[in-house]
Structure 1
Amino acid sequence: MSNFIPSLKPCNKMMCIRPRKIHEVVFFLALYCISVGTGGIKPCLESFGADQFDDDHSGERKKKMSYFNWWNFALCCGLVLGVTVIAYVEDNVGWGVASLILAIAMAIAIVTFYLGKPWYRYRLSKGSPLTPLLQVLVAAIRKRKLPAPSNPALLYEVPITHKSQGRLLRHTSSLRFLDRAAIIEEKDNISIEQNPWRLTTVTKVEETKLILNMIPIWLTSLTFGICIAQGPTFFVKQAATLNLKVSDDFKIPPASIIALGAAGMLVSVTIYEKLLVPTLRKVRGNERGINILQRIGIGMALSVLAMSAAALVEMKRLKAVDNELIRKGKTGPLSLSVFWLAPQTIILGIGDGFALVGLQEYFYDQVPDSMRSLGIAFYLSVLGAGSFLSSFLITVVDHVTEKGGRSWFAKDVNSCRLDNFYWLLAAMSGLNLCIYVVLAMKYTYKNVQRRVIVTDGSD
Structure 2
Amino acid sequence: MLDTKVTISAPSAMERSAEEGDEKERVHDSSVDYKGRIPRRSATGGWRASLFIIGIEFSERLSYYGIASNLIIYLNKVLHQDLKTAAKNVNDWVGVTTVVPLVGGFLADAYVGRFWMVLISSIVYLLGLSLLTLSELVPSLKPPPCSSSTSGSSAYYTCTKSLRTHKLAFFLALYLISLGTGGHKPSLESFGADQFDDNDDDERRKKVSFFNWWYFGLCSGVVLGVTLIVYVQDYVSWGAGFGVLAATTALAIVVLGFGVPFYRYRVPQGSTLTPMVQVLVAAMAKRKLPYPSDPSELHELETVPGRRRLRHTNRMRFLDKAAIVDQEALESSPAAANKGCHHLWRMATVTQVEETKQLLSMVPIWLCTLTFGVCISQGQTFFIKQGNLTNRYLTPHFQIPPASLLAFSASTMIIFVSFYDRLLVPFLRSLTGLDRGITVLQRIGTGMAICIATMTAAALAEKKRRDSDHVISVIWLVPQFVLLGVADVFTLVGLQEYFYDQVPDSMRSLGIAFYLSVVGVSSFISSLLITVVDSVTGRGGRKSWFGVDLNSSRLDYFYWLLAGLCAMNLCLYVLVARKYVYKTVERVQRGAVGDAIDEGGGGGRELRVIA
Judge same fold: TM > 0.5, yes or no: yes
2:346 is the counterpart of 1:198? yes
- What does residue 39 of structure 1 align with? 182
Q: Is the 8 A contact 1:265 1:353 kept in 2?
A: yes
2:300 is the counterpart of 1:152? no
Aligned residues: 441
Q: How far did residue 29 of structure 1 move? A: 3.8
2:409 is the counterpart of 1:233? no
Q: How far did residue 169 of structure 1 move? A: 0.3
Q: How far did residue 147 of structure 1 move? A: 2.1
Q: Deviations over 1:315-341 (max 9, x none)?
A: 212211xxx2xxxxxxxxx42101201
**Equivalences for 1:13-28 in 2 at 5 Å?**
23=166, 26-28=169-171
Q: Which moved more, 1:419-428 or 1:41-50?
A: 419-428
Q: 1:175 corresponds to which letter in structure 2?
A: M
Picking from 304, 320, 330, the partner of 2:452 is 304
Task: Work out the CA distance in 2 between the residues paired with 1:228 and 1:16.
Answer: 32
- What does residue 197 of structure 2 align with? 54
Picking from 523, 530, 538, the partner of 1:394 is 530
Task: Work out the CA distance in 2 between the residues paired with 1:411 and 1:438.
Answer: 41
Task: Work out the CA distance in 2 between the residues paired with 1:310 and 1:10.
Answer: 34
Task: Work out the CA distance in 2 between the residues paired with 1:316 and 1:451.
Answer: 60
Picking from 324, 344, 350, the partner of 2:480 is 344
Q: Which moved more, 1:393-402 or 1:44-53?
A: 393-402
- What does residue 222 of structure 1 align with? 370
Q: 1:133 corresponds to which letter in structure 2?
A: M
Structure with a larger share of its residues in strand: 2
Q: Is the 8 A contact 1:261 1:345 kept in 2?
A: yes
Q: How far did residue 95 of structure 1 move? A: 2.2
Q: How far did residue 402 of structure 1 move? A: 2.1
Show structure 2 runs of 5+ residues with no match: 1-133, 148-157, 331-336, 593-611
Q: How far did residue 359 of structure 1 move? A: 0.3
Task: Work out the CA distance in 2 between the residues paired with 1:199 and 1:190.
Answer: 16
Q: Deviations over 1:183-217 (max 9, x none)?
A: 01113338623211101000000000111000000
**Equivalences for 1:374-393 in 2 at 5 Å?**
374-393=510-529
Give the % identical residues.
Answer: 56
Q: Deviations over 1:53-109 (max 9, x none)?
A: 111111111111111111111111111111111111122222222222111111111
Task: Identify if the C-alpha distance between structure 1 residues 20 and 235 changes in structure 2 by more than 3 Å, giving closer, same or farther.
Answer: closer
2:560 is the counterpart of 1:423? yes
Task: Identify if the C-alpha distance between structure 1 residues 31 and 417 changes in structure 2 by more than 3 Å, giving closer, same or farther.
Answer: closer
Q: How far did residue 12 of structure 1 move? A: 5.0
Q: Which moved more, 1:260-269 or 1:427-436?
A: 260-269
**Equivalences for 1:210-359 in 2 at 5 Å?**
210-320=358-468, 324=469, 334-359=470-495
Q: Is the 8 A contact 1:166 1:452 kept in 2?
A: no
Q: Which one has the largest radius of gyration?
A: 2
Q: Residue 246 of structure 1 aligns to a residue in which SS?
A: strand
Q: Is the 8 A contact 1:182 1:201 kept in 2?
A: yes
Task: Identify if the C-alpha distance between structure 1 residues 394 and 6 changes in structure 2 by more than 3 Å, giving closer, same or farther.
Answer: closer
Task: Work out the CA distance in 2 between the residues paired with 1:8 and 1:406.
Answer: 39
Q: How far did residue 450 of structure 1 move? A: 2.8
- What does residue 178 of structure 1 align with? 319
Task: Identify if the C-alpha distance between structure 1 residues 18 and 427 changes in structure 2 by more than 3 Å, giving closer, same or farther.
Answer: closer
Task: Identify if the C-alpha distance between structure 1 residues 116 and 190 changes in structure 2 by more than 3 Å, giving closer, same or farther.
Answer: farther
Q: Residue 287 of structure 1 aligns to a residue in which SS?
A: coil
2:572 is the counterpart of 1:435? yes
Q: Deviations over 1:118-157 (max 9, x none)?
A: 2211112111000000000000000111122342111111
Task: Identify if the C-alpha distance between structure 1 residues 203 and 248 changes in structure 2 by more than 3 Å, giving closer, same or farther.
Answer: same
Task: Work out the CA distance in 2 between the residues paired with 1:269 and 1:406.
Answer: 43
Picking from 115, 130, 138, the partner of 2:258 is 115
Q: Is the 8 A contact 2:417 2:489 kept in 1?
A: yes
Q: 2:559 corresponds to which letter in structure 1?
A: Y
Q: Is the 8 A contact 1:165 1:453 kept in 2?
A: no
Q: How far did residue 419 of structure 1 move? A: 1.7
Task: Work out the CA distance in 1 between the residues paired with 2:273 and 2:374.
Answer: 29
Q: Is the 8 A contact 2:465 2:471 kept in 1?
A: no
Q: Residue 347 of structure 2 aligns to a residue in which SS?
A: coil
- What does residue 543 of structure 2 align with? 406
Task: Identify if the C-alpha distance between structure 1 residues 20 and 441 changes in structure 2 by more than 3 Å, giving closer, same or farther.
Answer: closer
Task: Work out the CA distance in 1 between the residues paired with 2:519 and 2:502.
Answer: 19
Task: Identify if the C-alpha distance between structure 1 residues 86 and 168 changes in structure 2 by more than 3 Å, giving closer, same or farther.
Answer: same
Q: Is the 8 A contact 1:164 1:454 kept in 2?
A: no
Q: Residue 2 of structure 1 aligns to a residue in which SS?
A: helix
Q: How far did residue 357 of structure 1 move? A: 0.4
Q: 1:298 corresponds to which letter in structure 2?
A: T
Q: 1:36 corresponds to which letter in structure 2?
A: L
TM-score normalised by length of structure 2: 0.69
Task: Work out the CA distance in 1 between the residues paired with 2:522 and 2:221.
Answer: 23
- What does residue 135 of structure 1 align with? 278
Task: Work out the CA distance in 1 between the residues paired with 2:573 and 2:239.
Answer: 46
2:231 is the counterpart of 1:91? no
Q: Which moved more, 1:243-252 or 1:11-20?
A: 11-20
Q: Is the 8 A contact 2:143 2:163 kept in 1?
A: no
Task: Work out the CA distance in 2 between the residues paired with 1:193 and 1:272.
Answer: 51
Task: Identify if the C-alpha distance between structure 1 residues 291 and 190 changes in structure 2 by more than 3 Å, giving closer, same or farther.
Answer: farther
Task: Work out the CA distance in 1 between the residues paired with 2:284 and 2:589.
Answer: 29
Q: Residue 393 of structure 2 aligns to a residue in which SS?
A: coil
Q: 2:372 corresponds to which letter in structure 1?
A: F
Q: Is the 8 A contact 1:165 1:452 kept in 2?
A: no
Q: Is the 8 A contact 2:287 2:321 kept in 1?
A: yes
Aligned CA RMSD, in angstroms, stands at 2.2
Task: Work out the CA distance in 1 between the residues paired with 2:407 and 2:190.
Answer: 26
Task: Identify if the C-alpha distance between structure 1 residues 83 and 411 changes in structure 2 by more than 3 Å, giving closer, same or farther.
Answer: same
TM-score normalised by length of structure 1: 0.91
